[in-house]
Chains A and B, each alone.
Chain A
Amino acid sequence: MTSIAEQFGRDDWVRFTPKQKFTRWAILLGCGLAIAWALTSIEVVWAWVWGAPEQISDLFGRMYPPDPSNLGTILRVLWDTVNIATFATAFAVLFSLPVAYIAAQNTTPNQVTLWLGRLILVTSRSVNTIIWALLFVAIFGPGVVAGIVAIMFRSIGFIGKLLGEAIEEIDTRPVEALEATGASRFKVIVYAIVPQVMPTFWAVAILRWDINLRESTVLGLVGAGGIGIILQGAIDTFNWPEVATILIAIIVLVIIGEVISAFLRRRIL
């Protein structure tokens, strides 16, 4: 009867060599130093940080009780907000389909279209919705249209990117099988690619609608329509009770949106 140690000749094992251990500790130390340096280099007024709890209770005091006298207008504008999000999502879904198709490596016709697709996605995604909104308010003037277009532009990148990745990750074997039947490229897409991408398509569209609902609530801050306009008006006039009503309305809207998208996800997927 021989022991394991005798059979294999050794009974100790370590995960990292001393050199690896040293490197790991050095990296940890480096990260710690970077954080410490970053904290000292930003100019924080610590008195304001410590005074925050007092300010919070003061603000809440001024907001309470919420003033519902303007509730009619608030709800109407909130409905605008929902419409901005919904139309923008619908258009974005439509426009992102061809973009996803040319931005996916396995379906794009050639290298030029691949890079065109990627360029569209990157441009759309690297610019924040608020910045797109500033741009489109300058073009279309203040209002709902600028908001819809701004959110649409931002969403095309998001939906196109995720859909393009879904296209790249499909099982290629059915595609091969349908090519072998002599089907044209378009028919192969309709029969072998579209069915595989469908679940992702719906999931992404619902998720983006959910995000757009929240994004459209701030568009009004730059004049692009929706609830943000009256929110800013109320803040500017120190009408804190109305601010409270608006914030509650937004929270309720977002929760309803969450419930609807969760329901759709369950039903469709």
Chain B
Amino acid sequence: MLKITDLVKRYGSGDPVLKNLDLTIEGESVVSIIGSSGAGKSTLLRCINRLVEPTSGSINLNGTELTSLRGKNLRAARRKIGMVFQSFNLVDRLTVMENVQSGRLGYISTWAAVTRRYPKKDIRRAFELMERVGIAHYANTRADQLSGGERQRVGVVRALMQDPDILLADEPTASLDPKTSEQIMGLLRDLAGELKLPVVINIHNVTEAKEYTDRIVGMRYGRIIFDDKPAQLDQAAMDEIYAGSPHADRTDDMAAAS
């Protein structure tokens, strides 16, 4: 279970990007987070695995408080949090297998990593997962030879190789064409079911969010203003989530404060 309490993130001395945010994700649900650019979706996701340092508040994953971890303990916690990125973030000059195995870097010895002598069970697992998403035949191909959809599949397999307790996806389909985008969303939903894995997806495409996820969280300017089943997301809620701009919100906030 992921439990976020009173999370605040402020960059520099400006307004907070996340404002006293609370969010709980239980079970194996697929949750999508929607909201206009600048609403803080990406920051929220990156606070969970501490790619972004939260300013204050608590993030608890299955009993581990993540915000206070350092060094070795932080790395151990990150192993259990898989992440999929908008621009895939693969190492282009490495093969698909090396990219996939890099999801195991937190587990294997440095020597094994440098010499590429991966444990047999990791290789077997990699082939299983690659087979599942249809990229097994690319194992020896360099990552930059693949198409966008294939690259994102590599990204997903890399994250799953971590044997994660939760999967975070930061706009995983924003760089893909509509058809591939739906395939990836379907894949994430199906894998969540098969692996009993909670998945949190930042997404701009509301139609896809409604179709592929069990729960929609709507963010606006650092706060959660909608949190319900996809069916409940009506036009009024949409308007509230997407109306205005971060700039307008900021001005409103100041007006309210003064």
Distance between B107 CB and nearest chain A CB, rounded to angstroms = 8
Binary interface encoding of chain B residues 55-83 relative to chain A, with 1 for a CB under 8 A from any of its CBs, else 0? 00000000000000000001111111111
CA distance A176 to B49 in the complex (A): 11
**Which residues of chain A are within 8 angstroms of B83 by Cβ–Cβ distance?**
177, 180-181
Cross-interface CB contact of A174 among B51, B90, B106, B113, cutoff 8 Å: B90
Cross-chain contact of B105 among A191, A195, A196 (Cβ < 8 A):
A191
B residues in contact with A179, CB < 8 Å: 51, 78
Among the listed stretches A84-92, A158-166, A182-190, A216-224, which one makes contact with chain B, having 4 or more residues with CB under 8 Å of it? A182-190
Query: Counting CB contacts under 8 A, is B165 at the interface?
Result: no
Say yes or no for B258: interface residue by CB 8 A criterion.
no
Q: Report whether over half of chain A's contact residues are helix, strand or loop; otherwise say mixed.
A: helix
Say yes or no: is B93 at the interface (Cβ < 8 Å to chain A): yes
Question: A180, A182, A195, A199: which contacts B91 (Cβ < 8 A)?
Answer: A195
Q: Inside 8 A of A97's CB, which chain B residues have their CB?
A: none
The answer to whether the Cβ of B162 comes within 8 Å of any Cβ in the partner chain is: yes
Return the CB mask of A164-208 against B: 1 if under 8 Å, else 0. 000000010110111111111011101110011011000000000
By beta carbon, the residue of chain A nearest B84 is A177
Indicate if the CB atoms of A180 and B51 lie closer than 8 Å.
Answer: yes
Of B98, B102, B110, B162, the contact of A184 (CB 8 Å cutoff): B110
Contacts of A181 in B (CB 8 A): 78-79, 82-83, 102-106, 158-159, 162
A190 touches B113 (CB 8 A): yes
Provided the pairs A177-B83, A183-B102, A186-B110 are in contact, do residues A198 and B93 lie with their beta carbons within 8 angstroms? yes
Q: Does B87 contact A (CB under 8 A)?
A: yes
Report B-chain residues with C-beta under 8 Å of the C-beta of A171: 92
- Cα distance A178–B102 in the bound complex, in angstroms: 7
A187 vs B110: C-alpha distance when bound (angstroms): 7
B85 lies within 8 A of chain A by Cβ: yes
A232 → B minimal CB distance (Å): 47
Range of interface residues on A (Cβ < 8 Å): 20 to 34
* Residues B106 and A182 in contact, CB atoms below 8 Å apart: yes
Please report the C-alpha to C-alpha distance between residue A59 and residue B24 in the assembled complex, in whole angstroms. Answer: 89
Contact of A182 among B75, B98, B113 (CB under 8 A): B75
Q: Which residue of A lies closest to B89 (CB)?
A: A177
Q: How far is the CB of B26 from chain A (nearest CB, A)?
A: 23
Residues on A with C-beta less than 8 A from B248 are none
Chain A residues closer than 8 Å to B77, beta-carbon distance: 182
Q: Is the CB of A182 within 8 A of B89?
A: no
**Interfacial chain B residues near A186, Cβ < 8 Å:** 110
Report chain A residues within 8 Å CB of B74: 182
Residue B114 interfacial (CB < 8 Å): yes
Chain B residues closer than 8 Å to A176, beta-carbon distance: 51, 85, 89
Question: In whole angstroms, how far apart are the Cα atoms of A199 and B77 in the complex?
Answer: 34
Contacts of A198 on B, CB cut-off 8 Å? 93
Q: Look across to chain B and name the residue whose beta carbon is closest to the beta carbon of A198.
A: B93
State how many angstroms separate the Cβ of A197 from the closest Cβ of chain B: 10
| B23 in the interface (beta carbon within 8 A) | no
Question: Cβ of B238 < 8 Å from any Cβ of A?
Answer: no
How far, in angstroms, from A195 to B95 measured CA to CA in the complex?
A: 11
Q: Which of B101-136 contact A (CB under 8 A)?
A: 102-106, 110, 113-114
Q: Does B94 belong to the interface (CB within 8 Å)?
A: yes
State whether A191 and B106 are in contact (beta carbons under 8 Å apart), knowing that A174-B89, A179-B78 are contacts in the complex: no
- The residue from B81, B87, B102 contacting A191, defined by CB atoms under 8 A apart: B102
Q: Are B78 and A180 in contact (CB-based, < 8 A)? A: yes
- Min CB gap A247→B, angstroms: 43
* List of 3 A-B pairs having minimum Cβ-Cβ separation, nearest first: A182-B106, A183-B105, A182-B78
Given contacts A180-B49, A192-B102, 20 further A-B contacts (CB under 8 A): A173-B87, A176-B51, A177-B155, A177-B158, A178-B91, A180-B78, A180-B81, A180-B83, A181-B106, A182-B76, A182-B77, A182-B78, A184-B75, A184-B105, A186-B110, A191-B94, A191-B105, A191-B113, A195-B92, A196-B93
**5 residue pairs A–B, Cβ–Cβ below 8 Å:** A178-B91, A183-B102, A188-B105, A191-B113, A195-B92
